[in-house]
């Protein structure tokens, strides 16, 4: 399907600068756009890339003055306008039939709501309860007495062990494992003795969990992922951790046992958090931080160990100036005839 620039401008309430009859057949990034596609420019750091784009047109900020491409549509939020048009050009979503595949294994005592879809080789153990409209992909396993709410999407190869509680509209991507034993051992005369992990995992409504992420069951009580939490790929959440509402956790983060993360926290990629600490609401933790103590008062933190962002930036600036400082000290020592080995 093709649209004219006039149609695109009208659809997003933008101001067109260019030929209104020019037709566009797709949407792509600055680097990948072809001469019949539209792109967007919203961040000054990408100005160089914008100058090199082959796109026929672009969404740009309302105050943008350069004429880099053939046509521009001036809007308040170029990224949002682009997303709207990209969805228009995107292929239709894959339709999944509401059916139970003949190879699915459903134990006695399983309760299925209306319009539930079970893919090939899905296994539902005794006592499982599945809400209306939930979709479970191929080769997924749902353990004994687990409850899953309405409108849940479980992609292929997900493992959910026994007695797990999952709310409504949860999304679990491929390879997620929910409810494995927590990593609990104690010394027994030089050997490691397993500590029983008899708790559960509770995942509240509107949580999304990325591919390959693991969330361990509690030693006792629950590991709790609260409403609206969004978890990226390859994240490890250990036993008895609590993640507060609407928190975001980026890829390759690891959170050790019994830590409590507040609400609306943002944890960037590759962060490591030790056990038994607390992170207050509205905290942002920068990438690759190693969090070894509780973070209080919210705000942005960075470095290892993390400190408030402003202080972390000062520390980085000091380190980068050390070379010049050493040169100045050496020059002073030479001028004053001081040996570097002299006592201070």
pLDDT digits (tens, 9 = 90+) for 263-304: 999 999 999 999 999 999 999 999 999 999 999 999 999 988
pLDDT at 126: 98
pLDDT at 95: 83
pLDDT band at residue 176 using 50, 70 and 90 as cut-offs: very high
pLDDT at 333: 76
pLDDT at 150: 98
Q: What is the CATH number of domain 3-89?
A: 3.40.1390.10
pLDDT digits (tens, 9 = 90+) for 19-45: 999 999 999 999 999 999 999 999 999
In sequence order, the 6+-apart residues with CB closer than 8 A to the CB of 251 are 210, 232, 233, 234, 235, 269, 270
Residue 16 has pLDDT above 80, yes or no: yes
- Segment 36-59 shows an average pLDDT of 96
pLDDT at 315: 85
pLDDT at 214: 98
Domain range 105-310, CATH architecture: 3 Solenoid (2.160)
- Segment 309-337 shows an average pLDDT of 83
C-alpha–C-alpha distance, residues 10 and 232, integer Å: 36
Tokens 């050790």 appear where? 256
Tokens 């001028």 appear where? 335
Residue 18 has pLDDT above 90, yes or no: yes
Strand 37-40 relative to strand 299-302, pairing = unpaired
**Sign of the four-CA dihedral 51, 55, 61, 63:** positive
Residue 339 has pLDDT above 80, yes or no: no
pLDDT digits (tens, 9 = 90+) for 193-249: 999 999 999 999 999 999 999 999 999 999 999 999 999 999 999 999 999 999 999
In sequence order, the 6+-apart residues with CB closer than 8 A to the CB of 270 are 251, 252, 253, 287, 288
pLDDT band at residue 325 using 50, 70 and 90 as cut-offs: confident
Q: Which residues are catalytically annotated?
A: 239
C-alpha–C-alpha distance, residues 165 and 202, integer Å: 5
Q: Which of 245, 222, 224, 250 is nearest to 235 (CA)?
A: 250
C-alpha–C-alpha distance, residues 28 and 32, integer Å: 6
Q: Name the residue with higher pLDDT: 89 or 95.
A: 89
pLDDT at 179: 98
Please report, for the chain, the start and end positions of each structural domain, with discontinuous segments joined by +. 3-89, 105-310
Lowest-confidence range among 49-63, 90-104, 202-216, 239-253?
Answer: 90-104
- Segment 168-188 shows an average pLDDT of 97
- Segment 323-333 shows an average pLDDT of 82
């Amino acid at each position: 399907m093709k649209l004219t620039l006039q149609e695109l401008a009208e659809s997003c309430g933008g101001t067109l600068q260019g030929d209104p009859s020019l037709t566009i057949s797709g949407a792509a990034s600055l680097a990948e756009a072809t001469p019949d596609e539209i792109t967007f420019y919203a961040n000054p750091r990408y100005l160089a890339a914008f100058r090199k784009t082959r796109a026929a047109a672009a969404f740009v900020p309302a105050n943008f003055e350069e004429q880099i491409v053939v046509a521009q549509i001036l809007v308040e939020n170029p990224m949002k306008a682009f997303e709207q048009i990209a969805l228009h050009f995107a292929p239709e979503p894959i339709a999944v039939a509401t059916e139970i595949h003949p190879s699915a294994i459903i134990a006695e005592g399983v309760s299925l709501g209306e319009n539930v879809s079970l893919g090939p080789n899905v296994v539902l153990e005794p006592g499982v309860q599945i809400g209306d409209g939930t979709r479970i992909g191929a080769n997924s396993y749902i353990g004994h007495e687990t409850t899953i709410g309405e409108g849940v999407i479980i992609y292929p190869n997900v493992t959910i062990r026994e007695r797990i509680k999952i709310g409504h509209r949860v999304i679990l991507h491929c390879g997620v494992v929910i409810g494995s034993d927590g990593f609990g051992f104690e010394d027994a005369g030089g050997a490691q003795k397993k500590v029983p992990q008899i708790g559960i995992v509770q995942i509240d409504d509107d949580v999304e969990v990325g591919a390959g992420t693991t969330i361990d069951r509690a030693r006792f009580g629950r590991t709790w992922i609260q409403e609206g939490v969004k978890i990226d790929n390859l994240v490890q959440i250990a036993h008895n951790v609590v993640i507060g509402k609407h928190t975001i956790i980026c890829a390759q983060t690891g959170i050790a046992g019994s830590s409590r993360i507040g609400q609306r926290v943002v944890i960037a990629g590759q962060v490591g958090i030790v056990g038994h600490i607390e992170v207050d609401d509205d905290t942002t933790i920068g990438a690759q931080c190693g969090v070894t103590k509780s973070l209080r008062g919210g705000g942005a933190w960075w470095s290892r160990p993390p400190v408030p962002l402003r202080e972390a930036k000062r520390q980085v600036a000091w380190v980068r100036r050390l070379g010049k400082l050493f040169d100045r000290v050496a020059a002073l020592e030479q001028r004053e005839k001081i040996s570097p080995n002299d006592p201070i």
